[in-house]
Amino acid sequence: MKKLILGLAIGVSLIACQDNESVRNEYTGSETVYSLQQGSAYNVNGTVTFKEKCDGSALVAVALGNISSPGADVAALLNPVLGSSGISETHLLRLSDETPINYKQLIDLNACIKIHLAASGPDRDIILAGGNIGLAAEDDLSSGRSGIGICKSE
């Protein structure tokens, strides 16, 4: 399968969806966390967390603190990271090609995620942080290699 890029320590816990009279939890408790490493001269790293919602969809949460398949397709664009907080959250329901995706499918992708300095212009090619997710992260653990897919320039 061709590597995908989602634009922009694995832990899993399982808890059933529960309805409470006063508070309705919209998450199942299943989540997967991936590390993001520095991707350029900028000293930026962080994490990306995929949280399963009760409807099976995924929330993608990026938190930034203070590569290697050429021509990888962009699977989905995420909401921008706020400069003041270093945080981004995207409720991901569909990939860029309009294919529906849920949490379980997301954590099974052979993909990587990258956080670019800008959405367009020359700074678009500067990667602040990135890391492999899903099957690509598992491959890194087994092979001892770490690589991040290279975005297509479109």
b (16+ CB within 10 A) / e for 76-85: bebeebeeee
What distance lies between CA 58 and its chain's CA centroid? Answer: 10
> DSSP letter at 78?
P
Is the pLDDT reported for residue 50 higher than 90? yes
Gap between the Cα atoms of 133 and 26, Å rounded:
23
C-beta atoms surrounding 139 within 10 Å: 14
For residue 153, being part of any structural domain is answered with no
Token couple for 17: 């969806």
Domain of residue 88: give its range: 4-143
Does the pTM exceed 0.75? no
For residue 149, being part of any structural domain is answered with no
Residue type for 143, please? S
Gap between the Cα atoms of 6 and 78, Å rounded:
7
For residue 113, being part of any structural domain is answered with yes
| Range of weakest confidence among 8-22, 62-76, 108-122, 123-137 | 8-22
For residue 151, being part of any structural domain is answered with no
Structure confidence at residue 104 as a pLDDT band (50, 70, 90):
very high
C-beta atoms surrounding 153 within 10 Å: 7
Whole-number average pLDDT of the chain: 76
The single residue listed with the structure tokens 């959405």 is 119
What's the domain count of the chain? 1
What distance lies between CA 2 and its chain's CA centroid? Answer: 17
Is the pLDDT reported for residue 5 higher than 60? no
For residue 36, being part of any structural domain is answered with yes
pLDDT average, residue stretch 33-61: 91
